[in-house]
Chain A
Amino acid sequence: MERDTHFILGVYDDEDVLLHAVEKVRGSGVKIHEVYSPYPVHGLEHVLGYKRSKLPIAAFLFGMLGTSLALTMQFYMMKFDWPMIIGGKDYAAFPDFVPVSFEMTVLLAAFGMVGVFLITSNLKPWAQPRIFDLRSTDDKHIMAIDIASNSSLEQEKIKEILSASGATEVNNKSFE
């Protein structure tokens, strides 16, 4: 069977039940594809066993890029391109450059971080989102299990595990 097309969905009403359910389901050897919820559930990524996001590293690198660009720009303009004496200081008066460098650092760190986040989370404008269950935007938490990546388990067995963990409904969902 092809990966990423056929899913079993567990529908949960309550976030506490969901958190325990994730632990139970993973404990019985089922791999969870993803959990969709209408709002951030505290501790969910922890029980899902997600590794920490690498986004801060991207932010740091973009920040450094901002600092370097700002300093290069100012030194080039003030020292080489169009030297000007301001307030009796040197052409390249470093303290004057600090506010601009700071702002550029913040700007590029923020833009870079948002950009990287959008791309890695598949939120590109041209991306086609897959809706597993519309109610995950309202009042239900949806746990999606990829059937292909759990081929060692019977589908009925997976459904039993989901119901036993507190799912109010267990459905099938397929994408083209």
Chain B
Amino acid sequence: MAHHGEHHYNLDQRFDFTASIKKSILTVLVIGAVLLGIGIVMAMTGGHHEEGAAAGGHAFHWYERLYASLWVNNVFFTGISIIGVFFFAIQFAAQAGWSAPILRVMLSLGNWLPIAGVLMLATFFVANHDLFHWTHSYLFDKNDPQYDKIIDGKGAFFYWPMEKGTFPVFYIARMVIFFSFWVFFFTKFKQISAQEDQLGGSSHWYKMRSWSAFFLVFFAVSSSMSAWDWVMSIDTHWFSTLFGWYMFASWFVSGLSTITLIVLFLKGKGYLEMVNENHVHDLGKFVFGFSIFWTYLWFSQFLLIYYANIPEETVYFVERLESDIYGPFVFVNLGLNFFLPFLVLMTRDAKRHGVFLKLVCTILIVGHWIDFTLMVQPGTLGHNGGIGLLEVGMFLVYGSAATFVVLNALAKRNLIAKNHPMLQESYNHHI
């Protein structure tokens, strides 16, 4: 309604992380773990050992599939987590008022970041040769028959200031710096939010805006570089200049879908009663719009490479499109992440009603996870990849663990930024 009346909402509400919610999350975790276990056993006993060896490459080991799966989920859930913080910062930089009641939901996603950072580092050290071709020292040795001139040229980006092929100082430093700064900004935002809850006034809002601006500048650079480091460097020879944006778009859609799902979940439980279909509509528009943005980047990357037809570039898509394993998934990827949200969320009603959004957001999260699987697997597993019980199980384990951490943190603090200066504006939000 357009009328600006008085509102009496419970601003001190807290999310009650009840035993029954915990139980359902843990059930998913257990199902995931069981699937993962079966998947690992299947990978150990089945497999295609002989093919790899016969082709003259290194023999394929079952644990490579486990590592690749770990890496996909590390990158994917790190993305969702940092997008929560990013979208939070955007609200302040853009001086947005509509989103005031759901700010805490966005920020809560960041709680997975510290865990994600540790997991990422650990996975890198355990799996380095099996995931990243550039970690082999013979590539940089001019006397070795497997010396690789192209990778040698790129070596400094990983190894500087050490000698190439030794310890990737620069690479590790970037990973550590990105995660520490992200966690630092996240903690800072949490701190200022807590102060605002206690003291009120608009000074915290201004403080938050400055910190948000610094964070956004840092994130602009770090998100792009993390895409090169964590995903693009798997296909070491190949590069794409818009890869950073492409991965960011994939992250952003997954993160927005997660935020929307949590908001709808909380509303379903009777919280956030000031969030009405107008706010949901805005979230829906973000999901819709950035799905198209993702498609735009996916297609821009594809079309230029396809059209120019330079072998060193086309190899990336040849690996995927011409493969029996990945070929179909390329189209599944486009179907789930573009055609489906585009057609379902096109009308205004679909964006305002939870049923459609819940469906589309769930599909988008799965769809973008498939997208990341498609980015990582061909370069690491070759024709031994695929999405089986192991991958699905790992996704469920990661997903439920991250959900548990996020909801647990959400329950510890006020659900609404009760002293946010733009709450009134948000109540009257009408589109």
Q: Which residues of A contact B (CB under 8 A)?
A: 19-20, 42-44, 46-47, 52, 56, 60, 87-89, 95-96, 98-99
B306 within 8 A of A: yes
Q: How far is the CA of A16 from the CA of B308 in the complex (A)?
A: 60
Contact pick for A19, options B2, B302, B303, CB 8 Å: B2
What's the Cα separation between A42 and B306 when bound, in Å? Answer: 48
**Candidates B1, B307, B347, B348; contact of A87 at CB < 8 Å:** B307
- Whether A95 contacts B2 in the complex (CB less than 8 A), given A43-B430, A87-B309, A88-B309, comes out as no
Taking the closest CB of chain A, its distance from the CB of B103, in whole angstroms, is 24
Closest residue of A by beta carbon distance from B296: A102
Extra contacts, 8 of them, besides A42-B2, A47-B2, A87-B308 (Cβ < 8 A), are A19-B2, A43-B430, A44-B2, A46-B1, A46-B2, A52-B348, A56-B347, A96-B303
Tell me whether B8 is interfacial, beta carbon within 8 Å: no
Binary A-proximity of B297-311 (CB < 8 A = 1, otherwise 0) = 001001100111100
Q: How far is the CA of A60 from the CA of B348 in the complex (A)?
A: 13
Which chain A residues border B309 with CB–CB below 8 Å? 87-89
Question: Which residue of chain A is the closest to B309 with respect to CB atoms?
Answer: A87
Main secondary structure of the interface of A (DSSP, over half): helix
A-facing mask of B262-290, CB < 8 A → 1, else 0? 00000000000000000000000000000
Count chain A CB atoms within 10 A of each CB in B1, B2, B302 and give the residue with the most: B2
Give chain B's interface residue range (CB within 8 Å of chain A): 10 to 19
Chain A residues whose C-beta falls within 8 Å of the C-beta of B1 in the assembled complex: 43, 46
Chain A: minimal CB distance from B81 (Å) = 33
Q: Answer yes or no: B3 CB below 8 A from chain A CBs.
A: yes
Complex Cα spacing A95 to B321, Å:
14
Closest to B349 in A: A52
A residues near B3, Cβ cutoff 8 Å: 19-20, 43
Docked Cα-Cα span, A108 to B308, in Å, equals: 29
Who on chain B is nearest to A60 by CB? B346
User: B302 to A95, Cβ gap below 8 A?
Assistant: yes
**Highest count of chain A CB atoms <10 Å: which of B302, B306, B346, B348:** B306
Q: Note all chain B residues with C-beta closer than 8 A to A46.
A: 1-2
Closest residue of chain A to B308, judged by CB?
A87
Report the minimal beta-carbon distance from A22 to chain B, rounded to whole angstroms.
Answer: 10
Contacts of A60 on B, CB cut-off 8 Å? 346
Identify 21 residue pairs between A and B in the complex whose beta-carbon atoms are under 8 Å apart, listed by A's number: A19-B2, A20-B3, A42-B430, A43-B1, A43-B2, A44-B2, A46-B1, A46-B2, A47-B2, A56-B348, A60-B346, A87-B307, A89-B309, A95-B302, A95-B303, A95-B306, A95-B307, A96-B303, A96-B307, A98-B299, A99-B303
Question: Min CB distance, A172 to chain B, in Å?
Answer: 30
Q: How far is the CB of B278 from chain A (nearest CB, A)?
A: 12
| Chain B hits for A89, CB < 8 A | 309
Question: Of residues 304 to 337 in B, which have CB atoms within 8 Å of A's CB atoms?
Answer: 306-309
Closest 10 CB pairs of A and B: A43-B2, A87-B309, A95-B306, A95-B303, A42-B2, A87-B307, A19-B2, A88-B309, A46-B2, A43-B430
Looking at the assembled complex, report how far the CB atom of A17 sits from the nearest CB atom of chain B, in whole angstroms: 12
B321 CB to closest chain A CB (Å) equals: 11
Cα distance A87–B347 when bound, in Å?
Answer: 39
**B428 CB, nearest partner CB in chain A, Å:** 10
Bound complex: CA A19 to CA B347 (Å): 28
Determine the chain B residues whose CB is within 8 A of the CB of A96 once the complex forms: 303, 307
Could you say which residues of chain A place their CB within 8 Å of the CB of B348? Answer: 52, 56
Q: Which residue of A lies closest to B347 (CB)?
A: A56
Which residues of the partner chain B approach A47 to less than 8 Å between Cβ atoms?
2
- Return chain A residues, CB-CB under 8 Å to B307: 87, 95-96
Looking at the assembled complex, report how far the CB atom of B219 sits from the nearest CB atom of chain A, in whole angstroms. Answer: 30
